[in-house]
Amino acid sequence: MSNINWTDDLNIGIESIDEQHRHIVSLFNELNDAHIHGEINVANKLLTELIEFKVFHCAHEEDLLKQSGFPLYKMHKLSHELIINQCLVLHQRAENGEYVVKEAVPFLRATLVSHIKGEDADYAIYVRQSQRSGQKEGRGWFSSLKRLFR
Ligand SMILES: [Fe+2]
Ligand SMILES: [Fe+2]
């Protein structure tokens, strides 16, 4: 399986998210390389690292969507849960001594690219707008107080 080349259409225009997506893609490429070269121990470690980082990333994204009042928050969270649940099943099988990287690689590759270009790109415009209007209002105690009563 080929590596994922980071192309501009993978950027969604939110710095913290793009940075995390780039990290996930680079972990994926390392995992794929280790698998291709038969480095089983390295691949197993990278799979764990990648899954842990994906769990962190999905939680970060969900916080961001919630704070921004994204209307499709629940659907996005569900989409994460479906991916993370499958990752956790793979992780559990790996913990039980099975080499699952061969099937994890195509699954991770497909879900990574389609989720970033699909669901993540879909919330980006909404969140960017919400961040811009938040900046205009300022971040002082008064605007924080106003947000509480919205
Ligand atoms: Fe997402
Ligand atoms: Fe994401």
- What domains lie within the chain, and their CATH numbers? 13-148 (1.20.120.50)
**72 C-alpha to ligand 2 centroid (Å):** 14
- Tell how far the Cα of 14 is from the centroid of ligand 2, in angstroms: 11
Q: How many CB atoms lie within 10 A of CB 59?
A: 13
Going from the Cα of 68 to the center of ligand 2, the distance in angstroms, rounded, reads 15
Q: Is the pLDDT of residue 108 over 90?
A: yes
Lowest mean pLDDT among 6-20, 42-56, 97-111, 122-136: 122-136
Instruction: Give residue 120 CA to ligand 2 midpoint distance, Å.
Output: 6
Closest CA relative to residue 87, chosen from 125, 58, 129 = 58
Confidence grade of residue 133 (pLDDT, cut at 50, 70, 90): confident
The distance of Cα 100 from the centroid of its chain, to the nearest Å, equals 21
Is the CB of residue 103 less than 8 Å from the CB of residue 90? yes
Distance 141 CA to ligand 2 centre (A): 30
d(CA 95, CA 77): 26
Q: Please count the other Cβ atoms lying within 10 Å of the Cβ belonging to residue 71.
A: 10
Residue 37 tokens, joined: 């070269």
pTM, rounded to two decimals = 0.87
Q: Are 61 and 17 in contact (CB under 8 A)?
A: yes
Distance CA 76, CA 119 (A): 7
Which residue from 49, 21, 85, 44 is spatially nearest to 6, judged by alpha carbons? 21
Average confidence (pLDDT) over 47-62: 98
Contact 17, 64 (CB under 8 A): yes
User: CA dist 94 to 11, 30, 42, 108, Å?
Assistant: 31, 18, 13, 15
Q: Is the pLDDT of residue 132 over 90?
A: no
**Ligand 2 mean position, distance from CA 52 (Å):** 14
> Closest ligand to 123 CA?
1
